[in-house]
Amino acid sequence: MIRITREADYGIVLMTCLARAEGQPCSATALARQRRLPLPMVSKILKALARAGLLKSQRGAQGGYSVARPAAHISAADIIGALEGPIAITECSDETHDGCSRQDHCEVSNHWPRINQAIYAALQGISLEEMSRPDPPPRPVHFHSLHRVTTLNAAGRPV
């Protein structure tokens, strides 16, 4: 199963809240209370997102966190990458990986970078602006049969 961490999940939730705030700073305490999340984890996530340049923080009585750039210019990949590091489906598909001791004997190692890139592109194609909308319009899902179904007549011939 491919799964993002709880931290990345909460990070996306917090970022959508901040995007909806439209530039108004929100405190970590207010965000934790609003989303019913533990304050220590919220604080840790917000600091990491600020270090990555996705949030800006403002001190003082009216301070808090706000989105550092337009929500349309922040992707799910940006948020996940800021909290989890580079997106890599396997160790050998991580660009920072030096190599694998099994690479000389692995028939699929050349395919992982392509798969990893497809996942990254999908996450990069989803903006914070889209995720911040309460009810996205339904997207049609198309399923394609793996096998062609052929109907036969009484004589056993295709119809």
6-41: per-residue pLDDT in tens?
999 999 999 999 999 988 999 999 999 999 999 999
Percent of the chain whose predicted confidence (pLDDT) is above 70: 75
CATH number for the region 6-129 comes to 1.10.10.10
Is the pLDDT score of 97 beyond 70?
A: no
Q: Which of the residue ranges 51-55, 77-81, 140-144 would you say has the lowest mean pLDDT? A: 140-144
Is the pLDDT score of 136 beyond 80?
A: no
pLDDT given for residue 62 in this prediction: 81
Is the pLDDT score of 110 beyond 90?
A: no
Residue whose C-alpha is closest to residue 7's, from 51, 43, 57:
43
Q: Which pTM value belongs to this model?
A: 0.77
Is the pLDDT score of 102 beyond 70?
A: no
